Amino acid sequence: MSNPIVQRELLGLLRTRRALVLQVGFAAALALLVVLRWPTDARVELSGAQSRQVFRLFGYGLLAGLIVLAPAFPATSVVREKRSGTLALLLNSDLGPWSIYFGKLAAMLGFVLLLLVISFPSAAACYATGGISLWGDLGTLYGLLVLAALQYTALGLLVSSYAGSSDAALRITYAAVLFLSVVTLGPHLFLQGNSGLYPELAEQLRCLSPIPAVMETLGQMDVGSHGFPAAGGVARRYALWASVTTALGALATIGRLNYRMLDRARPQGKITDERSGAVRFLRRLMYLVDPQRRKAAIGTFTNPVMVKEFRSRRFGRFHWILRLVAACALVSLLLTYAATVGTLDWGVETIGGIMVLLQVALIVLLTPSLAAGLISSELEGGGWDLLRMTPLRTDSILFGKLASVTSTLVLILFATLPGYLVMLWIRPEMWGQISHVLIGLALLAVFALMLSAAVSSFFRRTAPATTTAYALLVGLCAGTMLVWLGRDAPFGHAAVETALKTNPLATALSVIETPGFTDYELVPANWWFMGWASALCLLILLVQTWRLTRPR
């Protein structure tokens, strides 16, 4: 460890309680996955199918854990130093940008590698069941995961060098990881089976994601291929693309690690009201709600905390929300239009499924960003004590904060309704299904809000609060899908149904009758689960907030 940054970052990270919790939790989760599917039958299956099932579950679990955990630390690494002023000290030292970058990269990667090492006992258990080759299966899986870790670490560091705050860096990094891992699969899903330039580009694009490569290694390349023959060599192409994107990300970040990052003038606070009429008109067109206009005083009977949240939030300011709403409405209508005019022969159910997926992705991506900083950002910025010194009651503070996020979420969810309306117009008999989907989505939004806000009250900094909220939500929506992936073999129908009853995404897909989810009766069990879980989170939030407002 001749690079002092490696020592400081890695050892510093390993000394934290958070790192210990992550390591223990990660090892326990993987062990649980293997134990769940450990063969209980005394007979040995010579085909090796049973051990493959265990291996698949383990492989997907490992990948899911990596996608959630790997970006968290690099995403805050540079921006945290920038905010605390230590980046200026590093840039002023003998360490050049290359040393700083590779020191950070090695430290962050070192932590992820440690997590992979922690998974070795579970991997060994899979190997012990037989039917899996050490290098061909396990070796390739770990090689791909190391590449994915490298790719996400480089991405996190790049985002971190641009971001203005730790929580913004986390949000953007997770959005980028989601894009790289999931959204890149979309075009291929639409265009597979066709020939020409676009299908070929789509085929290459999906190789940016580690998911098809891991699926190929686990022998599940045909999932989602709709019967089309799956192209081989995905793992090799992913290795190439991951190396290229990592190298590009590294070069871009190293290029930014210099004094220009810190050479910024303080914003002078231009006011639109004082600008020319033409500029005011253009800004009105551009923004609808101009963030630089002089705002009116808060109304006497308005909750001041709610207004403050709208005005001061780091993410989700009104002009961006309006643009997002417009984009949501457009995508929702386009999807429904494509389904109804027969451009795509997937049927209304599949299109409905895609809409549900997009809505759940929106809720899971946006809600922690909006709500995980409700309390923690106040504690971090020193505003909490100032709020405590005002006559505002705890319930008033909480109401203002929750209302500001709720209204934003309602706006976004309503923007996706036109698609359903078109569906209803075409097939009015779908009213029952759509109303059930909407109830499920609303419950998910409430749960995501309550969970993120409750998590927020346990942290003094927004970045770890946001990461934890994301991890819990993604764990609930994607984690239980691991059980669904192993439906019938290795998991039985009852086990899958029980697991999916906790999953709002699966419930919505089941209601809209998306292929693969039609056999499960998840309503109203999932609604009860979401309702009680939301109530529990609200209770935790109330107790925590009450505790935080008491003299200590």
Partner 1 sequence: MSQNDPVVVIRDLTKRYGRFTALEGLTLSLDRGRILGLIGPNGAGKTTTIRILVGLARPTSGSATIAGADCLREARAIKRLVGYMPDSFGSYDNMRVREYLDFFGAAFRIARSARIRRVAEVMDVAGATYMQDRYVESLSFGMKQRVAIARTLLHDPQVLILDEPASGLDPQARIEMREILLRLAESGKTLIVTSHILPELSRICDQVAILTRGRLRAFGTLEEITRQISPQRTIEVQLAAPDQVAQAAAVVRGAVEPDSEVAGSEAESLVRFRTAKSEAELGGLLAQLVAAGVAVTQYRELQSDLEDAFLSVTRQDAGTNHLHAPATAGRGAAGRPSGDDS
Rule CB under 8 A: which residues touch partner 1? 165, 266-269, 271, 291, 294-295, 297-300, 302, 304-305, 307-308, 311-314, 317, 381-383, 385-392, 550-552
Choice between 3 and 272, CB closer to partner 1: 272
Of 43 and 550, nearer to partner 1 (C-beta) is 550
Residue closer to partner 1 by CB (options 248, 271) is: 271
Helix, strand, coil in percent for the chain, rounding step 5:
75, 0, 25
Please report how close the Cβ of residue 304 comes to partner 1 at its closest, in angstroms.
4
Residue the block writes with tokens 């909480």 = 398
CB of 300 to partner 1, least distance (A): 5
Report the nearest approach of partner 1 to the CB of residue 449 (Å). 21
Judge contact between 375 and 460, C-beta under 8 A: no
Min. distance of Cβ 525 from partner 1 in angstroms?
42
Q: How far is the CB of 545 from partner 1 (least distance, A)?
A: 15
Question: How far does the chain reach from its first CA to its final CA, in angstroms?
Answer: 43
- Of 258 and 302, nearer to partner 1 (C-beta) is 302
Q: Degrees (nearest 5) of the Cα angle 191, 197, 203?
A: 50
342/391 with CB nearer partner 1? 391
The least CB distance from residue 198 to partner 1, in Å, is 41
Shortest CB 298 distance to partner 1, Å: 4
In the complex, least distance from residue 197 CB atom to partner 1, rounded to whole angstroms: 44
Which residues are CB-neighbours of 214 under 8 A, at least 6 positions away? Answer: 59, 60, 63, 141, 144, 145
Cβ atoms of residues 133 and 35 within 8 Å? no
Question: Is 491 strand, coil or helix?
Answer: strand
Instruction: Please list, residue by residue across 194-231, b when 16 or more beta carbons sit within 10 angstroms of its beta carbon and e when fewer do.
Output: eeeeebeebbebbbbbbbbbbbbbbebbeebeeeeeeb
> Which C-beta is closer to partner 1: that of 4 or that of 383?
383
Instruction: Give min distance, CB of 271 to partner 1, in A.
Output: 5
What's the CA gap between 110 and 9, in Å, rounded? 10
Nearest alpha carbon to residue 318 among 289, 344, 283: 289
- Beta carbon nearer to partner 1, 343 or 390: 390
Nearer to partner 1, 159 or 379 (CB): 379
In whole angstroms, the minimum distance from the beta carbon of 465 to partner 1 comes to: 16
Q: What does DSSP assign to residue 1?
A: -
Per-residue burial over 122-133, b if 16 or more Cβ lie within 10 Å, else e, is bbebbbebebbe
Nearer to partner 1, 196 or 551 (CB): 551
Tell me the closest approach of the beta carbon of residue 72 to partner 1, in angstroms: 22
Nearer to partner 1, 2 or 300 (CB): 300
**Shortest Å distance, C-beta 267 to partner 1:** 5
Cβ atoms within 10 Å, residue 265: 5
Cα separations (Å) of 149 from 78, 105, 180, 255, 266?
18, 10, 13, 22, 36
**Residue 278 corresponds to which tokens in the numbers above?**
């033409």
- Closest by Cα among 422, 412, 246 to 341: 422
- The angle formed by the CA atoms of residues 471, 457 and 74, to the nearest 5 degrees, is 40
Q: Are 437 and 521 in contact (CB under 8 A)?
A: no
- Of residues 18 and 461, the one with the C-beta less far from partner 1: 461
Six token digits for residue 276: 């020319």
The rounded distance, in Å, linking the Cα atoms of 78 and 108 is: 12
Q: Given the complex with partner 1, which of 233 and 383 has the nearer CB atom?
A: 383
How far is Cα of residue 146 from the mean position of the Cα atoms in its chain?
20
Minimal distance in Å, beta carbon 381 to partner 1? 6
Nearer to partner 1, 20 or 271 (CB): 271
Residue 170 to residue 167: CA distance in whole angstroms? 5
For tokens 């990052």, what's the residue? 261
What is the spatial distance between Cα 524 and Cα 440, in angstroms, rounded to a whole number?
A: 9
**d(Cα 532, Cα 524) in Å, to the nearest integer?**
12
CA 31 to each of CA 28, 62, 482: distance values in angstroms, whole numbers, following the listed order: 5, 11, 14
